Structure 1
């Protein structure tokens, strides 16, 4: 169990570093260097790199090494398309199971978002946006859906670099969150789910994605 936990930690650390942009596309990931940085042997690093290759984040070339693949524009587009449908399902389920405490936290997030919007605090807005969706994932009471959508959220962190961070879009995003929350409060699962799907589609439209 301890060995599995170590492999999992090494995998998660390298994966997060790739998604956060620590490594550029085509950067070589050396087993010895990573092992030294993480304080582990080369074996768990090698296994983590193989797992990352299965996820498409790393390309292992025999007798050469492992290189960062990164996330293409098509990957980002596909993730948002899938996410839009899953978010709709998530919010439908969340409408049925959400607690009063979660509703109150969502209300607070919207109020804080409006405050930071007025102050021009983009980093806080990004953090609050992520928390808004995370509460809905948890409220769905589906471990699988929570895991998949949380994973997608990490994958699109890189895409945020190309997002058009305009005041107009920020205002619309907060408004869309408020509409979703109002539908949830009204126990209208169908409407809430449709609004969530449309919201993610609007986010995708706000990205500079080049056609491949």
Structure 2
């Protein structure tokens, strides 16, 4: 098999394409670009300070993920994610995040337990201070550590993608009165089950946690 050859310029291009893709995806998922908005290569190139090549590649990847649609004579148009998408993602998360918690309980290291405990302590601190921005940060960190502790790269990849896709919904939930306190208590119970290596309980508590987050999102959406 011939050895793949590449130079620094290719590395730079790949890195640039990834950064552009991540930024555009984040802007779509957080509502900066709304459904129906056109993604104009030239304008994005000027705004991001890059050539049109990584823009074009990023838009193609966004199209593959279903976030944009190529329309003749109009270019790339934002589709975003639908309410059905969000509902499906919460349902899928219940299944696979429960599995991640189960595997984390079985495979977590002492160092990862310390990291999880620290994230939980910060979450408690910022819950008491009602600092939503920091709270969201450490909520994500808590979940990320569990994903890493499950020792499954495919599962980690799927979970990270799903978290990105409903970031806006998750952020809004922390503005609901009482939800941050409940989320912290749920995390605390999950942490204790993982520390006990109680895989069954860790899985069940995580499924309940995601279900509660889904119910909270639906209540917010109905009020909106």
1:88/1:115 CA distance change after superposition, 3 Å: same
Aligned-pair CA distance for 1:57: 0.8
Contact 1:24 1:70 in 2 (8 A): yes
1:36 aligns to 2:43 (yes or no): no
1:87 aligns to 2:97 (yes or no): yes
1:27 aligns to 2:8 (yes or no): no
1:49 aligns to 2:69 (yes or no): no
CA distance in 2, matches of 1:64, 1:115: 49
- The within-5 A match list for 1:64-83 is 64-83=74-93
Aligned-pair CA distance for 1:72: 1.2
Contact 2:38 2:74 in 1 (8 A): no
Contact 1:26 1:67 in 2 (8 A): yes
Count of aligned pairs: 210
Contact 1:73 1:209 in 2 (8 A): no
1:146 aligns to 2:156 (yes or no): yes
Deviates more, 1:94-103 or 1:73-82: 94-103
- The within-5 A match list for 1:173-212 is 173-207=183-217, 208-209=220-221
Query: 1:26-54 CA deviation, whole Å, 9 max, x = no partner?
Result: 11110111122333332332232122112
CA distance in 2, matches of 1:91, 1:32: 44
CA distance in 2, matches of 1:28, 1:205: 33
Query: Unaligned stretches of 5+ in structure 2?
Result: 1-9
Aligned-pair CA distance for 1:164: 6.2
* Counterpart pick for 2:124 among 114, 119, 141: 114
Query: Unaligned stretches of 5+ in structure 1?
Result: none
Aligned-pair CA distance for 1:99: 1.3
> Which residue does 1:165 correspond to in 2?
175
TM-score in terms of structure 1 length: 0.90
What RMSD, in angstroms, separates the aligned Cα atoms of the two structures?
1.8
Query: 1:97-120 CA deviation, whole Å, 9 max, x = no partner?
Result: 111122122222222222222222
